[in-house]
Amino acid sequence: MVLTRKSHLNSKSEEQRETPKKQWSLKDFEIGKPLGKGKFGRVYVARELQSKYIVALKVIFKEQIEKYRIHHQLRREMEIQTSLRHPNILRLYGWFHDDERIFLILEYAHCGELYRVLRKNGHLSEQQAATYIVSLTTALAYCHEKHVIHRDIKPENLLLDHEGRLKIADFGWSVQSRSKRHTMCGTLDYLAPEMVENKAHDYAVDNWTLGILCYEFLYGAPPFEAESQSDTFKRIMKVDLSFPSTPSVSTEAKDLILRGLLKKASASEDLGASLGNQECRPCRKDKGLELPLLKRHLFSCVRCPYLLRQQNPNPNPETAIVILSFWFLQLKHQFSRSNYSETMSYDDVEIEDMEWNEELQSYTYPCPCGDLFQITKDELRLGEEIARCPSCSLYITVIYNIEDFLDKKSNNKLEKSKQQPVAVA
C-alpha cells in the first residue's frame, strides 16, 4: 500500500470501479518526535501503521483557526499544495480532523530546513548555492505555470529530503490566480519592491526572492537587513545592495545578483533586458526556437555575453547554470503567453496515452525536443510518477493506478523498498 495513491479516472476508464477514498484518522498513525512548532500548531514525524510509511503530521488547532480567522487561507493552502506534483515541492497527501484539531499528512523531509544548514555552515559554496537555486527555479516555474504564486519563499520554507533534494514547503500565503494581487504578505527581508510599495503584484515576487536567496546562500544573510522595519523597506525600494569582502564570492555571482536577479526592473521584465540586451549572434538567431531547443542552446553557450559580462571569458560554471535557469524561468512565462503555450505546457499524462518501448524497457511519451519522456515499470511500482526527458531534462507527471502494477511478488518488493522507518519516540 502507498499512502497517497488515488485512482485517477479519465473518460476512458469512467466505467471502471473507482477505488474508495481512504478516510484517515489519528488511529492510523504512530506519532513520533516533534519536528517543529508554529503559530497555529505543531509538526510531528509519524508512521502510517499499515504501510509503515514515514510522514510528517502537521497539527493545527481549530481554536487558533477561529481566533485568527484563517479558514479561507488554510483551505486555499490545502487545495493548492494537494494539486502540485513536482520533485522539488513537498507533497500534501491528505488531511483529516477531530473535534479540536486538523491534521495535514505531509511528505517527510528527513534533513529538515535549509535554514538550519545555512546557519550551521554560515554560508554555502557557489556550487551548493547553484544546486539549490536551480531546483528552486524549476519548482517555481512549475508553480507559475499552474498560476500559483508562493509569496513566502525563504530558507525556513525550503526543506531537504533524505537525499538532500530541495522541497518547497508551507503554502500558507500562496494564491492561485491569473490576475495581479494586492495583499501585502510574506517575510520582511524577502519582500519585493512592488510589495513594499503596496502595488499590485504577480509571480515576479517569487522571482525576486531567487536573488535574495542567491545573496543569502553566498553571504549568510539577506542583502537588505537593517535595524528597523522602515530602514529595511527603504533599502529594498532603493535596491541598496552591497557586497562584503568576506566570504570570497566570484565576480560572476555578484554580477548575476546585481545586474540580473536584484535589479528592480528585472522582477517583472525579461532578464535579458536587465542584462543589457547584449546578445551573441547564435542567441539572436535562436531566439525563435521552441523552448526545449532554446534551452539546449543556452546551456552550450556559457560564454555568451548576453548571459555574462564579456570581460569574463571563463565564467564559473555553477554561476552560469544559475543564470541560465533563471532566464529559462522568464522564458517559460513568455512562452506561456505565446502560441507555444499548448506545446510547452507539461502537465499530467495518463498512462494509457504512453507507449511501451521494448528496447528502452520503459513507458514513453514524445517530448518536443525530439526525444522521449521515460518511466519504467519498477518506478511505477514504487510510486514514482515523474517521467523525464533524458535530453532536455523536462518532465511530465504520469497519472496511473499503482494497483495495476502490483502483484504479490512486486508488492513484497515494494514493501522492502519503502522508506526505512526512523526511530520513533
For residue 28, count CB atoms less than 10 angstroms from its CB and return exposed for 0-12, middle for 13-18, buried for 19 or more: middle
**Contact between residue 224 and residue 189 where contact means Cβ atoms under 8 Å apart:** yes
Nearest to 356, CA basis, from 333, 344, 372: 372
- Domain coordinates of the chain in residue numbers? 26-107, 112-336, 348-417
CATH classification for the domain delimited by 348-417, as one of 3.40.630.30, 3.10.660.10, 3.40.50.2300, 1.10.600.10? 3.10.660.10
In angstroms, how far is CA 374 from the centroid of its own chain?
A: 21
Any binding-site annotation on 62? yes
**Contact between residue 102 and residue 71 where contact means Cβ atoms under 8 Å apart:** no
Q: From residue 113, give the alpha-carbon distance in Å to each of 118, 166, 172, 336, 346.
A: 9, 9, 16, 32, 29
Cα–Cα dist 365/398, whole Å: 10
Maximal C-alpha separation, the chain? 67
Query: Which class is domain 112-336?
Result: mainly alpha
Strand 395-399 and strand 348-350: the pairing is parallel
SS3 64: helix
Cα–Cα dist 322/215, whole Å: 12
**Contact between residue 392 and residue 296 where contact means Cβ atoms under 8 Å apart:** yes
Place of cell 504520469: 398
- The pLDDT profile of the chain, 425 residues, written as one tens digit per residue, is 334 333 333 433 444 444 456 789 999 999 999 998 877 889 999 999 999 999 999 999 999 999 988 999 999 999 999 999 999 999 999 999 999 999 999 999 999 999 999 999 999 988 788 888 888 988 888 898 899 999 999 999 999 999 899 999 999 999 998 889 988 899 999 999 999 999 999 988 998 998 899 999 999 999 999 999 999 999 999 999 999 999 998 877 787 787 667 765 444 443 333 333 334 434 444 444 344 444 444 434 433 434 433 334 444 444 444 555 554 444 444 433 333 333 333 457 889 889 999 988 999 988 766 678 888 888 887 777 778 777 655 677 788 887 777 654 444 444 444 444 444 33
- Would you say domain 26-107 falls under CATH 3.30.200.20? yes
Which residues are known catalytic residues?
A: 152
